[in-house]
Amino acid sequence: MDKTVATAAEAVADIPDGASLAVGGFGLCGIPSALIGALLATGVTGLRTVSNNCGVDDWGLGQLLAEHRIARTTGSYVGENKEFARQYLSGELEVELVPQGTLAERLRAGGAGIPGFFTPAGVGTQVADGGLPWRYNTDGSVAVASPPKEVRAFDGRDYVLEEGIVTDFALVRATKGDRHGNLVFHASTRNFNPLCAMAGKITIAEVEELVEPGELDPDEVHLPGIFVQRVVAVGVGEKRIERVTTRKKG
């Protein structure tokens, strides 16, 4: 039952080239920065990531992107990442953009063993009809476009079929976790972390504080340990803000 590993490097050591990863966080909030840094150090490449966004140029998943370690990414938002845009438009990176709520439900559904679901989001657009550029050629033409999806009417309204997402690994960050993998997230760091954790076949959680089993109030646990295979204590560490906005004094 003890799922702890000694270091972040040990926790990600078996992630191979070409692996698919669900990565928690929203912008730079609640990202598993220690695990991402450890993964960068392994030299692994050809990764297929699923995350709300791809970090910024020098932090989060942006570090892997800058080293051309990511071959394909599924997300909702490009964010403050110029290198992401450059790689996508130059044909170096395959990108599947998904409506944010749909992405959240695709991750949750995959983790719950639900292969697909119907949603009204995207009906009447290229999300449903196909044709969204997933990868460009170097001359700017479309090399790979999204396929059309099934649309079905329920009670007179059209809905599009979306597939659940299951990945080889998931990397998440929690404020507290015990040795059994039960996790607690602080405020907005909860974001996509529980959903990504559910979607991974092997989920690795970095926690700021590791506690003993029984110390967490069961009513406060946001993600039960059944979804987590490895836990590593990393401390608070460095936390960055994507865009600092402050009010003038007075």
pLDDT tens digits, 4-53 = 999 999 999 999 999 999 999 999 999 999 999 999 999 999 999 999 99
Query: Looking at the predicted structure, is the pLDDT value of residue 73 above 90?
Result: yes
159, two tokens: 């809905």
Residue 231's H or E segment, with its range, is strand 230-233
pLDDT given for residue 250 in this prediction: 76
Alpha-carbon distance of 148 to 47, in angstroms, equals 25
Domain spans of the chain, in order of start: 8-192
pLDDT above 80: residue 230? yes
What does the pLDDT read at residue 241?
Answer: 85
How much is the pLDDT for 245? 85
Distance CA 172, CA 190 (A): 10
Percent of the chain scoring above 90 in pLDDT: 91
- Tens digits of residue pLDDT in 98-128: 999 999 999 999 999 999 999 999 999 999 9
Q: Cα–Cα distance between 99 and 92 in angstroms, integer? A: 23
Mean predicted confidence (pLDDT) in 155-177? 98
Asked whether residue 79 carries a pLDDT value surpassing 90, the answer given is no
Asked whether 133 and 142 are in contact (CB, 8 A), the reply is: yes
Minimal CA–CA distance to 29: which of 168, 167, 175, 221?
175
Give residue 246's pLDDT: 87
Q: What fold does the segment set 8-192 form as a domain?
A: Glutaconate Coenzyme A-transferase (3.40.1080)
Counting Cβ atoms within 10 Å, is residue 42 exposed (0-12), middle (13-18) or buried (19+)? middle
244: confidence class by pLDDT, cuts 50, 70, 90: confident
- Return the SS3 of 105: helix
**Per the confidence metrics, is the pTM higher than 0.75?**
yes
What would the pLDDT profile of 169-221 be if each residue is shown by its tens digit? 999 999 999 999 999 999 999 999 999 999 999 999 999 999 999 999 999 99
**Quick one: pLDDT band at residue 248, thresholds 50, 70, 90?**
confident
